[in-house]
Amino acid sequence: MSEINVTPLVDVMLVLLVVFIVTAPLLAPQSLKVTLPKTTAVSQDTKKIAVRMSIDAQGRVELENQALTDAQLTDVLKQRGVDPQFQLQIEADTKVPYGRVAELMAIAQRSGVSKLSFVTIAGK
């Protein structure tokens, strides 16, 4: 007999292929079923200075219920944004174009504001 019998080799390779197909999804982190622990909220020692900036559907800006232009907003944020505990909370209407929100975020960043957050309503 001058030929090698490859049937056992094919059997082993098929078994290995099945093992890899079954275990591959388990290696991906998103496929692991992880139940995260529940904790209570921790209060921070320092008080943050939270200021709300509202953007209506037409793109007009109000900072603490005071209507401002972009130039006025820049001046106000330059004065207040240097405080490390200052936080700007953005309330944007759902109809505001993303470009307008991005412009206002850039104004805030250039003015020295380092903490931004978006205010949303919890829903389904």
Lowest mean pLDDT among 5-14, 33-42, 96-105: 33-42
Question: What is the tens place of the pLDDT at every residue in 97-113?
Answer: 889 889 999 999 898 88
pTM over 0.95: no
Query: What's the topology of domain 49-118?
Result: Nucleotidyltransferase; domain 5 (3.30.420)
Name which of 47, 48, 57 is nearest 91 in CA terms: 57
Q: Is 26 helix (H, G, I), strand (E, B) or coil?
A: helix
Q: Is 53 helix (H, G, I), strand (E, B) or coil?
A: strand
Of 27 and 70, more confident: 70
**Tokens (6 digits) for 119:** 């205010």
pLDDT for 88 beyond 60: yes
Domain boundaries, the chain: 49-118
Question: What is the tens place of the pLDDT at every residue in 54-64?
Answer: 888 888 888 88
In the chain, pLDDT over 70 holds for what percent of residues?
A: 78
pLDDT value for 32: 47
Distance CA 46, CA 123 (A): 30
